Chains A and B, each alone.
Chain A
Amino acid sequence: MAVSDHERTDPAADRIATLDVAAPGVPIAARPRSGRSEFAYFALRNWKFDLGLGVVLVCVAAALVGPLLTDHEPLAFTGPTDQPPSSEYWFGTTSFGQDVFTQFVYGLRAALVVGIVGGGIAWLLGAVVGFTAGYRGGWVDDVLNMLTNVVLVIPTIALLIIVAAYVDVHSYATEAVLIGLTSWPWAARAVRAQTFSLKTREFVDVARLSGRGTRQIIATELAPNMSSYLLMMFILLFGGAILIGASLDFLGLGPSESISLGLMMNNAFLSSALILGMWWWFVPPGVGIIAIVGGLYVMNVGLDEVFNPKLRER
């Protein structure tokens, strides 16, 4: 599965995730109970999942705990300017005398908010649209498909730049909403493809024949099979939202009243920190993003292996 933000590729989005039989001759009783416990059992044993999850959790911890470790405000001019990292200022200070470490941990918070909210909205929209289109088919599908294509083709960044400039974003939640509202088409397409392939499988026909209502079919037959897929998609959207948010912040279109990782880079850039060699200012934000997003992607790889046993330790 190619890994990227929502507009980069995910060719395997069209693949079907099925739970294979582990090996011939293994009687059912020997395997762990199906359902959530089986998932947890396999997931935690997958080192990639663990590694990714670990990294992400570290970042979350840093975001939660970090601000408590520092008594500075992120935007306050607290100390001497242009200081390299020291015992007093762990990540050094900026050209304006702000503490980089404080900015960093608050920035992490902002990134996580943007990721969860933005990714979540895109996920919800994408799942609903894609699923409805895939399941209903017919004219519903045509209409939704056209809508999806229109939004899909418009370069997201273009749309966001204009809209963000207009809306005058004040909080990261708002920025996240904007990102979510523009990132869903990719997810919708993938969910639609997945729904199509599942819809035509026999067990759905059987359920329909036995007289189950549409809602029930969706809940009991389709959703469980898609849940793994949906989970992985959310993770990708989460990562993607963070990246887009960082770009927006870098362009100066994010909230300016608080700090974010992208904004840190923007400030550093505008203050010629690159030329002055103040690496402590612009390197950490990027590393933070790479850590969270990279961790998410690696988690996803682990999950893919859990859900597709074929990929395990080949």
Chain B
Amino acid sequence: MTFVVAVTIDWAIPRFMPGDPVERLLSRMQAQPGASEALRGYYAEAFGFDVPIWQQYLNFWAALFHGDLGLSIAYFPTPVSELILSALPYTLALLVPAILLSFWAGNKVGALAARRKVLDNTVLPASYVLTATPHMWLGIVLVWLFASTLTIFPVSGAYGLALQPEWSVEFARSFLHHWILPFSALFLVGFGGWAIGMRNMIIYELEADYSNYLASLGAPTKLVRKYAYRNALLPQITGLALALGAVVAGAIVVEIVFSYPGLGSLTLSAIQNRDYFLIQGIFLFLIIGVLVANFVIDIAYVFIDPRTRVGMQGGP
């Protein structure tokens, strides 16, 4: 249900954007006046603009089920799906490690900070600063410091200019070299958020009745902490689903700062060129991706938290 509505919105909104994409395409091609008429007709037909709106909508759904997202207007005649798929790996290369590592590291450090006052006093303020940092600013500062002033890392791109994507050590090294800064921008901001959250949840759990009971029965702090950590992770996982939107937004912006050839940069050029199909395609991808991730997390949660399982079966 959510999916249908989301897809509809996704289809509808680009349509309402001002500017006629076909015109743009034509002006870019600088066609002759006479030829442009014919071309206009051709493109209108190719893109399906010549049929009434409701039919365009239905056609869209039909094409969707075939995995056909149409042809890009800006990069004509490259199919949208091809553009997206070629940009996707780069975005995923940034997003997936950033999400997973910041979640893991942030939670671990947050838990540690909850029990050591010294750590708490340093990690906590730093985390607040990090989580209040706009992604792109961090990216900008990282570029300035480490790429421009101290030329340790490259300024932009995903790999060296002379290289082509391939499975080679040289490419891998260059890729990593270019990957570190944008990844760090995403990682650090996420880390701050998770650390704060976990630290607070741990404190809450450590003061819970079951923790007190265990301690009263002489259980070592290690056991109490282990239980507290496991229980505190649960709401954090729920939070993960909610945080996806923010991380994706961050990835888009960071990619732009680093001219990283992922979905972010693609989105920007799509907007600038009023490329309906490309925008549609990208957002469809994003929406589906986020929906799937949410779904996966929901399912995983049922397995991890016994309370939901029992709640679904019906209690005694």
Contacts and interface: CB of A to CB of B under 8 A. Distances in A.
B197 A150 contact: no
Given A4-B246, A247-B249, A155 B290 contact: yes
A290 B196 contact: no
B6 A154 contact: yes
A314 interface: yes
B163 interface: no
Nearest to A239: B132
B134 A243 contact: yes
Contacts of A314: 203, 207
Contacts of A5: 246
A279 B144 contact: yes
Contacts of B5: 150
A8 B8 CA distance: 26
Nearest to B199: A2
A157 B200 contact: no
Contact of B193 (A9, A152, A165): A9
Interface residues of B, number: 65
Contacts, number: 193
A163 B13 contact: yes
Nearest to A300: B128
A282 B140 contact: yes
A209 B197 CA distance: 39
Contacts of B18: 166, 168
Interface in B222-253: 235-236, 238-240, 242-246, 248-250, 252-253
B13 A162 contact: yes
Interface of B: 1-2, 5-6, 9, 13-14, 16-18, 128-129, 131-138, 140-141, 143-144, 147-149, 155, 193-194, 196-198, 200-201, 203-204, 207, 235-236, 238-240, 242-246, 248-250, 252-253, 256-257, 267-268, 271, 279, 283, 286-287, 290-291, 294
Interface in A109-133: none
A161 B267 contact: yes
The 10 nearest A-B residue pairs measured at CB? A2-B197, A9-B239, A286-B137, A11-B235, A157-B249, A294-B132, A293-B132, A7-B246, A7-B245, A162-B13
Interface stretch (A22-30, A96-104, A267-275): A267-275
A9 B243 contact: yes
Given A155-B248, A161-B271, A265-B137, A12 B200 contact: yes
Interface string A249-282: 0110000000000100100110000110101001
Contacts of B9: 154, 159
A158 interface: yes
Contacts of A165: 17, 271
Contact of A286 (B2, B140, B246, B294): B140
A1 B201 CA distance: 7
